[in-house]
Structure formats: structure tokens, C-alpha cells
């Protein structure tokens, strides 16, 4: 018999770090939503995410800057870049000479659209397809999710996003992805990861009803397609992040729970610690 949500609550979360921004940034977010000259894929080609393409992109740009403290000159790595929903608004924020963006995804159509539409106008935005196996997005993939290695040197990035990626991964693959994110982050860099982090604090108003996946830390909401909406024990997520060498800055609850929140999924922000004095000799 499947267990329903019944976990030990995690410790109270710290307040989200926020970065003060001025009215110019608010104007930028508004323009991302209304600028008809920004790239926009054909509606029938958008294969991930609910909601309006531009609106969701602008929302996350706001979160990246206000909560993740993303600056225009940083190097961004977008794991699971899809069809550019995060990339398009970032073209309007990242410095065209000092900032950079790299995105990877297993879905060829999304990568082709991004590479053909975004990169010619923004050459520091690069896209790469990885043939990672996934039962929903790339069932014929040749690379198991537990063997993923992103082809970049250690410390290549200042800001790594995993938006709606952990919600489609089993626990063992999530561990691999978080370890890779830690390897790729430079000291002081941040991981911005969204998840359904189940912590036992049920409101009775959750929009998704999760059941435990066998005896491990994973959960699922759709029996016919467990990785369509995958949850993870919050304690497991925190432990995985810390074991990867990252310091958890915050884990904030999302409004999928039926509570008031600034974001739908739960949001984890973790930091790669600065090198100690012994590393600077």
C-alpha cells in the first residue's frame, strides 16, 4: 500500500536572501513580457511548463536577480534549458560582453530552435543537446541519467539553474546533477533549483497529491507517469546538496502547497563556499 505524505518536518527555513533592485529592473521585466520583437517559439512547439512563455520567463528572471543575486556579468548554466524560456529574458539582462549563458537539454527540437533563433543575435548564448535518456522527454537516449557529466571545466559558472528539472528526476539521478552543479560552480557561485520538496507540512490544499515511490526518498503524483511530477524528501534534498559541498542558503515553500508564496514550486538556493586561505597561496 502506498504511503501518503507523512514526513518529519524540516527545520524552519531562513528568510530568502533578496537583492535590492531599482525601478529600471521592474521596467525590464515588464518589457520582457510585452516586447514582440523578442524571440518566441511557435506555441505548438513549447513542450515544457505551464503558463505564458514570456510571463513565466520574466517571473524567473525576477527570481534569479532578487533571490539568486544574479548579476549581469556572471556566467550562467541552465540545466534543462528546454526551448529557451529562461534564456530569452536573460538576453535582456546579461552583459553582452562579460556575461554568458550555456544551456543543455535532451530534446533536439528545443536546442535547434534556441541555436538557430537566439545564438545568431546573442553569440554568448550557446546551446548544446545531450542525449540523456528520460522516459518522457528522450526515451531513446543513449546516456543514463546516473552517468551525466556536463562537458565544462570545474568552476566554469557563477550561477546554475535547475528550473523544473528535479521535478522530473528520480533521486539517484538528482544526486548526480547536484554533484555536477557543485563541480561546475566557481567559489561564491549559486545553485538555483526548484523542486517539490516534501517536508510533512501538509495544508490539505496541495494542488498535487504525492505518494511515496517504493521505500526511498522519491515521491510521485501521477501513477501512469511517475516522472511527470516527481517529489523528493526535503531532508534528502538538503543532505544531497550539503554532501555535494554546497551551503544551503534557503529552502522556501511554493504555492503548489496552497499557501501564499512568490513561486509555484519549492525553491532551493545553495552557495559554493569561497576558498579558504590555504587555497590562495
Cα 8 to Cα 10: distance, rounded to the nearest angstrom: 6
pLDDT digits 0-9 by tens, 258-277:
999 999 999 999 999 987 54
pLDDT value of residue 37: 83
Residue 227 within a domain: yes
Query: Which neighbouring-strand residues pair with 270?
Result: 191, 248
> Mean pLDDT across the chain, nearest whole number?
89
**Domain that residue 196 falls in:** 131-279
pLDDT value of residue 5: 39
pLDDT value of residue 51: 65
pLDDT value of residue 16: 45
pLDDT value of residue 15: 45
pLDDT value of residue 3: 37
How many domains is the chain built from? 1
- The CATH number that applies at residue 154 is 3.40.50
Neighbour count for residue 3 (Cβ, 10 Å): 13
pLDDT value of residue 200: 84
pLDDT value of residue 4: 37
Residue 78 within a domain: no
Polymer length in residues for the chain: 281
Alpha helices in 73-151 (DSSP H): 87-91, 108-117
0.75 exceeded by pTM: yes
Query: Which is nearest to 83 in space by CA: 25, 129, 28?
Result: 129
Please calculate the CA angle 17-20-22 and round it to the nearest 5 degrees. 155
Q: Which residues of the chain have pLDDT under 50?
A: 1-16, 277-281
pLDDT digits 0-9 by tens, 41-100:
776 655 565 668 889 999 999 999 999 999 999 999 999 999 999 999 999 999 999 999
Amino acid at each position: 500500500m502506498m504511503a501518503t505524505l507523512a514526513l518529519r518536518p524540516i527545520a524552519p527555513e531562513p528568510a530568502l536572501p533578496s537583492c535590492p533592485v531599482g525601478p529600471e529592473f521592474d521596467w525590464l521585466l515588464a518589457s520582457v513580457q510585452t516586447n514582440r520583437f523578442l524571440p518566441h517559439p511557435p506555441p505548438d512547439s513549447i513542450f515544457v511548463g505551464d503558463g505564458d512563455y514570456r510571463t513565466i520567463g520574466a517571473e524567473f528572471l525576477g527570481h534569479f536577480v532578487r533571490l539568486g543575486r544574479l548579476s549581469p556579468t556572471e556566467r550562467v548554466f541552465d540545466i534543462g534549458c528546454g526551448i529557451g524560456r529562461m534564456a530569452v529574458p536573460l538576453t535582456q539582462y546579461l552583459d553582452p560582453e562579460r556575461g554568458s549563458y550555456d544551456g543543455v537539454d535532451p530534446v533536439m527540437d528545443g536546442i535547434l530552435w534556441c541555436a538557430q533563433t537566439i545564438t545568431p543575435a546573442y553569440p554568448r548564448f550557446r546551446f548544446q543537446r545531450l542525449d540523456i535518456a528520460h522516459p518522457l522527454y528522450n526515451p531513446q537516449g543513449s546516456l543514463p541519467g546516473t552517468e551525466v557529466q556536463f562537458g565544462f571545466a570545474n568552476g566554469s559558472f557563477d550561477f546554475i539553474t535547475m528550473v523544473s528539472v528535479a521535478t522530473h528526476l528520480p533521486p539517484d539521478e538528482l544526486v548526480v546533477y547536484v554533484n555536477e552543479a557543485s563541480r561546475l560552480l566557481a567559489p561564491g557561485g549559486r545553485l538555483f533549483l526548484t523542486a517539490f520538496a516534501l517536508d510533512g507540512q501538509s495544508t490539505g490544499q496541495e494542488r498535487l497529491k504525492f505518494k511515496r515511490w517504493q521505500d526511498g526518498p522519491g515521491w510521485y503524483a501521477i501513477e501512469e507517469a511517475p516522472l511527470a511530477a516527481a517529489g523528493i524528501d526535503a531532508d534528502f534534498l538538503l543532505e544531497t546538496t550539503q554532501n555535494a559541498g554546497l551551503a544551503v542558503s534557503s529552502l522556501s515553500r511554493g504555492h503548489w502547497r496552497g499557501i501564499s508564496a512568490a513561486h509555484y514550486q519549492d525553491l532551493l538556493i545553495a552557495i559554493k563556499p569561497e576558498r579558504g586561505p590555504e587555497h590562495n597561496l
